[in-house]
């Protein structure tokens, strides 16, 4: 928690002024019982002196004094609460900002490590918990302990006999809390983990609601959600139980304390060692002592509980991005040539996904990558824009190791259409401009022409201003793929990577897109990953992957000639998808 305090820096004025105002409130509040005691004593005095008039004017004076003190206390209290809110809310907002900024620097493997759901819980639930604690601390950190100490001192001064009860009851309460606290903390940590799982369940379900519905998996998903929800509820009950049981126990102790004090005070009043007026003041102070004690405990409990959240936030903030700019990075990529030199790569240690990969691509070439699903095609190309870093060997772009470029320069030059690509809510034009904010309308149209997207975009009544809906739901799968390609082209990259990006378009369109790429951006290196041989057959060379290793490299004709696997795939695709593929393939 204390490590996070630096995020309160901008709001330190509010965070510091608030406790000062609080202290003012406490002082005024503590003076009131004394005035009250004076009033009671004055009333008591009437029967002795019989001077009613003087007593009434004294009481009115004292009443005005009490009102004044109450107004001052109210003013300080209200301003303290307002300034505390400013500080607390600002603190929360700063942490959320820092978290979002940090996550933006994460590489794919950093994100793999935390999971998206957990990052969401940490940015929302955890930050709210820490923010509330901070707010409570500003409000109570000085107020409750000062109130406790001052009220206790006054009480002891007024009657040591009555105050002696605290010597027994306060230590008992503290010991009970010291035992219950750590148990509660452990249970709250477990509950937060359940929260992660719960969020993961909701996130997956809502994000993929269409898949869930089309597979009629609603009832399965409901069951899965119910389990996550029940688990969370049980963990929460288990954690709360200790508080639910602790609260009445604490109350009991407090009432026993009050009862003992009443018994002792009654005896003292009867023996005339304590005046009635003094007793009213002492009793008010005692209530203040108990309330501040209770508040201090609540504050400590909240501090303990938010420790788990603070730790989870801190974990994200201190995570070092795996992939960073080098010192003195190269700021521009001179051409689109690529070389893999004995590259190996693993997502998890010891399980190599790619092994001994070496090949070269000249600038401006069009290269196909083929292989069965899971043969590590996507893994291979992700190493070029450094979405992941190699474990062995090196990847060179324009003759220099990719690690020597600034990430921005490298990723500006390497445009990749990911296999699982998405569009965002907004218009088509807005989505395309993700590739290049300053692109002119003419450039948008050109990119769409190359990606064979211009005709269907222009057929929409609103053309480029058509709203895509969340996640781009308003276009078909093939249309979405073509928009993603256009978006990547708009970046005017040196290297363009299409990872299975034409799987949802028919072969004729597929061929038109390749034709467009070849003609319109001849200097850009183009890497095309595909499942269909027709998508790569006209490439300058084709890399055939098998189980994370290179099986063969050559042109379509060479591979047909010498590579049995390639020939088998070709033959099966010729037969399997005869009518459509052959038609398209002929274009």
Ligand X SMILES: Nc1ncnc2c1ncn2[C@@H]1O[C@H](COP(=O)(O)OP(=O)(O)OP(=O)(O)O)[C@@H](O)[C@H]1O
Give the residues lining the site for ligand X (CB under 6 A): 112, 347, 353, 371, 373-379, 419, 500
3-state secondary structure 160-203: HHHHHHHHHHHHHHHHHHHHHHHHHHHHHHHHHHHHHHHHHHHH
Task: Report how far Cα 470 is from the mean position of its chain's Cα atoms.
Answer: 21
Closest CA to 494 of 567, 582, 413, 563: 413
Residue 397 near which of ligand X, Mg ion, none (CB within 5-8 Å, type-dependent): none
- CB nearer Mg ion, residue 301 or residue 369: 369
Q: In the complex, which residue's CB is closest to Mg ion?
A: 378
Take residue 308 and report the two structure tokens written for it: 């788990």
Which residues lie below 8 Å from residue 457, measured CB to CB, with a gap of 6+?
428, 448, 463, 464, 466, 483
Task: Please report how close the Cβ of residue 551 comes to ligand X at its closest, in angstroms.
Answer: 13
Site for Mg ion contains 379 (CB under 5 A)? no
Task: Please report how close the Cβ of residue 94 comes to ligand X at its closest, in angstroms.
Answer: 32
Task: Pick the stretch among 307-315, 373-381, 444-452, 547-555 that binds Mg ion (CB under 5 A).
Answer: 373-381
- CB nearer ligand X, residue 187 or residue 526: 526
Residue 280 near which of Mg ion, ligand X, none (CB within 5-8 Å, type-dependent): none
- CB nearer Mg ion, residue 211 or residue 372: 372
Inter-residue contact 346 to 389 (CB < 8 Å):
no
Residue 139 near which of Mg ion, ligand X, none (CB within 5-8 Å, type-dependent): none
Task: Please report how close the Cβ of residue 540 comes to ligand X at its closest, in angstroms.
Answer: 21
Task: Please report how close the Cβ of residue 106 comes to ligand X at its closest, in angstroms.
Answer: 13
Reported as half-sphere exposure (CB side, CA atoms, 13 A), residue 398 has a value of 18
Name the phi and psi angles at 250, rounded to 5.
-65, -40
Which residues lie below 8 Å from residue 57, measured CB to CB, with a gap of 6+?
none
- CB nearer ligand X, residue 417 or residue 468: 417
Task: Please report how close the Cβ of residue 553 comes to Mg ion at its closest, in angstroms.
Answer: 19
Distance CA 251, CA 256 (A): 9
- CB nearer Mg ion, residue 152 or residue 416: 416
Q: How would you label 560-587 residue by residue, b for 16+ Cβ within 10 Å and e otherwise?
A: eeebeebeebbeebeeeeeeebeebbee
Residue 494 near which of Mg ion, ligand X, none (CB within 5-8 Å, type-dependent): none
Among 58, 419, 425, 551, binds Mg ion (CB under 5 A): 419
Task: Please report how close the Cβ of residue 344 comes to ligand X at its closest, in angstroms.
Answer: 13
Closest CA to 29 of 62, 69, 63, 67: 69
Take residue 527 and report the two structure tokens written for it: 């890497």
- CB nearer ligand X, residue 161 or residue 546: 546
Inter-residue contact 117 to 206 (CB < 8 Å):
no
Q: In this structure, how many other beta carbons lie within 10 angstroms of the beta carbon of residue 439?
A: 20
Task: Pick the stretch among 88-96, 122-130, 205-213, 412-420 that binds Mg ion (CB under 5 A).
Answer: 412-420
Task: Please report how close the Cβ of residue 483 comes to ligand X at its closest, in angstroms.
Answer: 20
- CB nearer ligand X, residue 257 or residue 375: 375
Task: Pick the stretch among 77-85, 346-354, 411-419, 482-490 that binds Mg ion (CB under 5 A).
Answer: 411-419
- CB nearer ligand X, residue 191 or residue 390: 390
Residue 374 near which of Mg ion, ligand X, none (CB within 5-8 Å, type-dependent): ligand X
Write out the DSSP string of 320-375.
PPSS-PPSS-B-------EEEEEEEEESSTT-EEEEEEEEEE-TT-EEEEEE-TTS
Sheet holding 392-397, edge to edge: 352-361, 338-346, 392-397, 400-401
- CB nearer ligand X, residue 107 or residue 363: 107
Site for Mg ion contains 378 (CB under 5 A)? yes
127-140 vs 12-49: helix axis angle to the nearest 10? 40
DSSP 418: -
Residue 105 near which of Mg ion, ligand X, none (CB within 5-8 Å, type-dependent): none
Distance CA 268, CA 283 (A): 13
Task: Please report how close the Cβ of residue 505 comes to Mg ion at its closest, in angstroms.
Answer: 17
Task: Pick the stretch among 45-53, 246-254, 413-421, 501-509 that binds Mg ion (CB under 5 A).
Answer: 413-421
Residue 376 near which of ligand X, Mg ion, none (CB within 5-8 Å, type-dependent): ligand X
Task: Please report how close the Cβ of residue 358 comes to ligand X at its closest, in angstroms.
Answer: 18
Task: Please report how close the Cβ of residue 545 comes to ligand X at its closest, in angstroms.
Answer: 7
DSSP 208: T
DSSP 415: E
Residue 373 near which of Mg ion, ligand X, none (CB within 5-8 Å, type-dependent): ligand X
The contact set with Mg ion (CB under 5 A) reads 378, 419
């Amino acid at each position: 928690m204390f490590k996070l305090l630096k995020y309160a820096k901008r709001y330190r004025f509010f965070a510091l002024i608030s406790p000062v105002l609080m202290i003012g409130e406490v002082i005024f509040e503590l003076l009131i019982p004394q005035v009250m005691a004076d009033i009671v004593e004055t009333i008591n005095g009437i029967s002795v002196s019989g001077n009613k008039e003087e007593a009434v004017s004294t009481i009115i004076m004292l009443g005005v004094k009490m009102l004044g003190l109450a107004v001052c206390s109210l003013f300080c209290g209200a301003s303290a609460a307002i300034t505390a809110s400013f500080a607390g809310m600002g603190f929360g907002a700063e942490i959320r900002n820092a978290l979002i900024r940090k996550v933006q620097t994460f590489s794919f493997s950093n994100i793999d490590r935390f999971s998206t759901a957990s990052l969401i819980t940490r940015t929302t639930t955890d930050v709210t918990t820490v923010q509330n604690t901070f707010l409570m601390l500003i409000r109570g950190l000085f107020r409750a302990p000062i109130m406790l100490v001052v009220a206790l001192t006054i009480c002891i001064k007024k009657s040591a006999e009555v105050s002696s009860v605290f010597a027994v009851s306060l230590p008992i309460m503290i010991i009970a809390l010291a035992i219950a606290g750590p148990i509660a903390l452990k249970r709250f940590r477990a509950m937060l983990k359940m929260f992660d799982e719960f969020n993961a369940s909701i996130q997956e379900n809502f994000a993929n609601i269409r898949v869930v519905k089309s597979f009629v998996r609603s009832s399965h998903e409901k069951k899965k959600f119910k389990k996550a929800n029940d688990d969370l509820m049980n963990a929460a009950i288990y954690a709360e139980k200790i508080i639910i049981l602790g609260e009445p126990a604490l109350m009991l102790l407090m009432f026993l304390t009050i009862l003992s004090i009443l018994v002792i005070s009654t005896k003292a009043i009867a023996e005339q060692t304590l005046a009635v007026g003094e007793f009213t003041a002492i009793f008010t102070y005692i209530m203040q002592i108990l309330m501040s004690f209770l508040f201090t405990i609540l504050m400590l409990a909240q501090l303990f509980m938010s420790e788990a959240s603070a730790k989870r936030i801190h974990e994200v903030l201190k995570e070092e991005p795996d992939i960073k700019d080098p010192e003195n990075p190269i700021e521009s990529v001179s051409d689109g040539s690529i070389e893999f030199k004995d590259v190996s790569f693993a997502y998890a240690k010891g399980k190599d996904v790619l092994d001994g990969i070496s090949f070269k691509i000249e600038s401006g070439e069009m290269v196909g990558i083929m292989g069965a699903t899971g043969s590590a095609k996507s893994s291979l190309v992700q190493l070029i824009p450094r979405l992941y870093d190699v474990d062995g060997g090196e990847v060179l772009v324009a003759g220099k190791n990719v690690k020597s470029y600034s990430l921005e320069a490298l990723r500006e030059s390497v445009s990749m259409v990911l296999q699982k690509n998405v569009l965002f809510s907004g218009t088509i034009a807005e989505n395309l401009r993700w590739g290049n904010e300053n692109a002119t309308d003419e450039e948008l149209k050109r990119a769409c022409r190359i990606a064979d997207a211009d005709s269907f975009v222009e057929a929409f009544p609103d053309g480029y201003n058509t709203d895509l809906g969340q996640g781009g739901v308003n276009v078909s799968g093939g249309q979405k793929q073509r928009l993603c390609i256009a978006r990547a082209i708009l970046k005017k990259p040196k290297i363009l990577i299409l990872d299975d990006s034409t799987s949802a378009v028919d072969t004729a369109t597929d061929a038109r897109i390749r034709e467009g790429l070849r003609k319109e951006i001849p200097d850009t290196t183009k890497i095309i990953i595909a499942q269909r041989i027709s998508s790569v057959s006209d490439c300058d060379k084709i890399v055939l992957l098998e189980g994370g290793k290179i099986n063969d490299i050559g042109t379509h004709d060479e591979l047909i000639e010498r590579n049995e696997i390639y020939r088998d795939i070709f033959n099966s695709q010729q037969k399997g998808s005869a009518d459509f593929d052959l038609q398209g393939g002929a274009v």
